[in-house]
């Protein structure tokens, strides 16, 4: 009797299953739309809550240079639009990463990591999702630009 037969012949291997590969673009689409929803929620919060835009702007420019809120707004608007459309998602997610590193550093220094008070756990998760979007790519239903060949 062979040793393999006595031990129950248990083996592990990594396999690409075709059914997983068919659904992967839709997972990237879902991730894109979830991230775009997060950005839309934050933009709504900046413009339509109690303090409004100028309250947010004043609080942020009080402790940071004026280019910081401009960068934050360009990140949120560009991520909302480009992630929703699926256009250049890797580049727009990469553009957002420095802002999240700054946000995480800010919350870690003020409140810490945990969610019992506003902390850094949500920005850390958001950063991980952006990195995942960079790895996965555009996914299904993405807008792409292509050049037409001209024949002369």
Tell me whether residue 60 is in a domain.
Answer: yes
Tell me whether residue 17 is in a domain.
Answer: no
Tell me how far apart the alpha carbons of residues 51 and 135 are, in angstroms, rounded to a whole number: 37
Tell me whether residue 1 is in a domain.
Answer: no
Residue range of the domain that includes 60: 25-136
Confidence check: pLDDT of 7 > 60? no
Tell me whether residue 144 is in a domain.
Answer: no
Tell me whether residue 4 is in a domain.
Answer: no
| Over residues 70-89, mean pLDDT | 94
Tell me whether residue 13 is in a domain.
Answer: no
Work out the pLDDT band at 117, boundaries 50, 70, 90. low
pTM above 0.85, yes or no: no
Q: What percent of the chain has pLDDT over 70?
A: 86
Tell me whether residue 105 is in a domain.
Answer: yes
Number of domains within the chain: 1
Tell me whether residue 11 is in a domain.
Answer: no
Work out the pLDDT band at 66, boundaries 50, 70, 90. confident
| Lowest mean per-residue pLDDT among 87-91, 93-97, 133-137, 144-148 | 144-148
Report which of 86, 96, 83, 82 is spatially closest to residue 126, judged by C-alpha positions. 96
Q: What's the whole-number average pLDDT of the chain?
A: 85
């Amino acid at each position: 009797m062979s040793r393999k037969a006595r031990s129950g012949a248990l083996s592990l291997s990594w396999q690409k299953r075709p059914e997983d590969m068919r659904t992967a673009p839709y997972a990237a689409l879902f991730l894109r739309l979830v991230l775009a929803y997060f950005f839309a929620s934050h933009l709504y919060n900046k413009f339509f809550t109690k303090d409004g835009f100028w309250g947010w702007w004043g609080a942020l420019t009080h402790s940071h240079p004026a280019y910081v809120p401009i960068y934050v707004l360009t990140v949120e608007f560009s991520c909302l639009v480009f992630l929703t459309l699926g256009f250049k998602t890797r580049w727009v997610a990469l553009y957002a990463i420095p802002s999240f590193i700054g946000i995480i550093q800010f919350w870690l220094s003020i409140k810490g990591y945990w969610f019992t008070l506003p902390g850094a756990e949500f920005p850390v998760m958001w950063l991980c999702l952006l990195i995942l979007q960079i790895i996965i790519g555009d996914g299904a239903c993405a807008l792409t630009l292509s050049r037409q060949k001209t024949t002369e």
